[in-house]
Structure 1
Amino acid sequence: MSKRQKLVAASLLLTLGILSIQSVEIEARYQAIGLLAGVAYGLSAWAMFEDLRGVEWLTVLILPVMYPVAVALFYFLLPERFLTRTMILGFFGIGMYALLLTENIFNVAAIRTIQLLRAAHAVGFLLTLMVAFFLWDTIFSFRLYGWWNAILVLVSSFPLILQALWSVNLEEKLTAEVVYYSAALSWALFGLSLLVSFWPVTITAAALFVVTALYVGLGLVQNYLSGRLFKRTIREYLWVGLAVFLITFWLASWGEKF
């Protein structure tokens, strides 16, 4: 079986996994999602086994594990409409295949030069933000105490940021710089998620607020690590962050019972 066929097979099997979780009793769904995470790791590793080396067993496989977990959690929040859930399943299958292709490019590019690397960076960045939104929208939907929201965002953001920063230079080891910036950005998101937890905003607005912060921070650090952090780039990212902050603040139901 060729590698492309393995990637397709892994995507289809994980799509079936997402579908099968819906038939599991509510009390056992989170255990089923944990099992899905293990299956996702195994299938992704199997599909890319030939080129996986060293730290890639961690960095390359983070997103292929977190993506199905995030979609499975978000799937519970959707209305029980056949068309809506079918569209999400189709979206997941296509996204999973694109993600595995992207990670495979990173996997190969760590060994030799490959032309599709720039496109893979763009897709990887987008999927990282998408996974973050699905996870954090789910976290805020639980309506936990602010500290719990912040802790869960911290825990989930660190691996997402770690793999995204590692993918910039695709080094053989996780450098102290990558780990440091991953931790710093995660702590920044911890603080922002704690802050927005006490704002009278909707669940989606809170999740988008934190995801935008991830977009700004991750974009700036990735450009810094690649040596392309110019004043214009900094201004563009900061303007986006400021605009979303002001919009979220303005849309908050201040003075009203939330």
Structure 2
Amino acid sequence: MEFDERRPRSEETCLCFQEDHLLLREFQQGVCLPKVEELRASFPQLAAPLLERFTWGDARYQLHECLESFSPPPGWRWSRLRQLTSSLPTELFALTATAFQLLHWRQTRRYCGRCGSPTVRASVERSLRCTTCGQDHFPHLAPAVILLITRGEKLLLVRSLRHPPQLWSLVAGFVEAGESLEQAAHREALEETGLELENLSYCYSQAWPFPSSLMVAFSANCRGGKLRPGPDEIVEAAWFLPDRLPTTPTGLSIAGRLIADYLQRSHRRTHE
């Protein structure tokens, strides 16, 4: 994704958010992002200022923040971004997630954290500059680790206070100041489950917009310890065989991808 400072054009595609809801066009085959000219024609009085312009691949996009609450007419709908993780194509979700992270950055950096003065958009690079002290505020990222922990064929899953009661997922947590990613992985496993790890190995990463996280995935084996859920965040922790998994994340989340890869490896070993 590249910053685009050229003059806005009506044929550009629009990402219009109202809090965490994205405005979409409905058609017979599903939904799509509207063109700017479609948005203007359907909602000529809409209070939705332009915040950012950027390119994604060969296409140009505009990010708008809707400042008023309204029910869209037939052919349009508001969709909560988190609910779109299971229905949007991977590339389209990555685009909308990036736009939502930029929206969160603009919303939380309207004033300088150093002196409290208003910020304005810098003209050359993607930053918000304080109008008084000149401090630059770049888009914020919060690194976090997520862990696929196994013991033999079994997979460790946890139920978190942050998730629906029936949903089991993987151990995860934010990296603390001064930590390496590896140190954060070992600490999170110990804090949330009481287990020690070995054979920690990097898998892949994913930008995640709830809010502006960078999820870094690792796999590891359980070295020892007594399984006990951390009282502050984890309701329950347990080991599961691959053919006995409970409800787990699906769709485009990195947890869903890690679990799917684990199941594929288990299936290959079973049929070797």
Shared fold (TM-score, shorter chain, > 0.5): no
Greater fraction of residues in strand: 2
TM-score by length of 2: 0.25
- Give 1 or 2 for the bigger CA radius of gyration: 2
Greater fraction of residues in helix: 1
